[in-house]
Amino acid sequence: MLFRQLYDSVSGTDTYLLASRRGGEALIVDPVLEKVDRYLQLVKELDLKLVKAVDSHLHADHITGLGALRDRTHCITVMGEQSNVDVVSMRVNEGDKLTVEGISLDVLYTPGHTDDSYSFLMNDRVFTGDTLLIRGTGRTDFQNGDPRAQYDSIFNKLLKLPDDTLVYPAHDYKGDTVSTIGEEKTFNPRLRVGSVDEYVDLMNNLNLPNPKMMDVAVPANLKVGLAQADIARRGWALNVAEAIKLIGRPDTALIDLREKSEREKHGVIPGSLHAPYPDLQENVSPGGMLHELATATRKRIIFYCAFGERSAMAVQAAQDSGIFSACHLEGGIGAWKKVNGPLLR
Ligand SMILES: [Fe+2]
């Protein structure tokens, strides 16, 4: 396995790059905007394909690298279902699995630092975001933070993991890089409390100044969505009302780009075909399934996904590959559900 811990000294952020092998798919956790060039250089040096960029929560102390990584690599951006971010490509919740080739992370919902805080468990290690830090815990005094919820996340979820589980947090300001659940149980001063009320008191009396970047970082991080308007301006977008009318029409092929787990959880548009986003380039290139489908049948190709990001990127790729009928469902299944569009489960 390839595992890289990359540090941003300005914000004290730890970013993690994971892949199962050289030449394989990679996933990055909590990237920082200013470091995007460095990440992409490393991705290139290790011959990786960046497939997913994930934020453990909406950060207040640095601008996320999610949007820039998506724009430069066409990777999928991922955050939790509770996040107030405008658009990400994919949202996850407790019990989901976050996967790339050869790697699977269990998604743990661990609110408290914020209400959209997640941790990700991978075999012997857990990425704890700002929920559990090394000899500390993430502050709970803004962004819908809640010390009671955080106590529950830490004591009833994270500390229940085996003692030798490695702890990799999203931040460290002292130069520590890794800990274990057992070490934190014994030595983390914030966790030496007798009750949830004691923890709430402790967290409510930290009186910390706001992060320096907060007024810049939070608004920027709320707007990481892909500019789908550019695709619409070129006439390559359909709204839900337009797309609903095309269900079952013989001159139309609706293509679902989502993962199997998303299809099972949220349902699929009747009559649509499944062509997962990671295989897109192969599928739209000459000789590929979608390229041949479009050419041989003259069917209009309509991509859809969860929120319209993957499908917007797919339209561009398909158009670039000569599939000039390609368009997408703006807003994806998220928009579809809002008007109760028909879904099969
Ligand atoms: Fe944070």
Q: How far is the CA of 242 from the centre of ligand 1 (A)?
A: 40
Q: How far is the CA of 42 from the centre of ligand 1 (A)?
A: 25
**Could you tell me which of 113, 116, 109, 115 has the C-alpha nearest to residue 130?**
113
Long-range contacts of 99-102 (CB under 8 A, 24+ apart): 99/259, 100/18, 100/19, 100/20, 100/24, 100/25, 100/26, 100/27, 100/51, 100/52, 101/20, 101/24, 101/25, 101/51, 102/1, 102/19, 102/20, 102/21, 102/24, 102/25
- Give CA–CA dist 10/13, Å, rounded: 8
Tens-digit pLDDT profile for the chain (345 aa)?
Answer: 999 999 999 999 999 999 999 999 999 999 999 999 999 999 999 999 999 999 999 999 999 999 999 999 999 999 999 999 999 999 999 999 999 999 999 999 999 999 999 999 999 999 999 999 999 999 999 889 999 999 999 999 999 999 999 999 999 999 999 999 999 999 999 999 999 999 999 999 999 998 888 999 999 999 999 878 889 999 999 999 999 999 999 999 999 999 999 999 999 999 999 999 999 999 999 999 999 999 999 999 999 999 999 999 999 999 999 999 999 999 999 999 999 999 998
Q: How far is the CA of 59 from the centre of ligand 1 (A)?
A: 5
Q: How far is the CA of 270 from the centre of ligand 1 (A)?
A: 40
pTM of the model: 0.96
Q: How far is the CA of 290 from the centre of ligand 1 (A)?
A: 41
Q: How far is the CA of 55 from the centre of ligand 1 (A)?
A: 10
Q: What share of the chain is helix, strand, coil (3-state, %, to 5)?
A: 35, 25, 40
- Give CA–CA dist 172/135, Å, rounded: 10
Q: How far is the CA of 9 from the centre of ligand 1 (A)?
A: 15
Q: How far is the CA of 138 from the centre of ligand 1 (A)?
A: 7
- Give CA–CA dist 334/41, Å, rounded: 34
Q: How far is the CA of 148 from the centre of ligand 1 (A)?
A: 17
Listed residues: CB within 5 A of ion ligand 1: 130
Task: Using DSSP, state whether 236 is helix, strand or coil.
Answer: coil
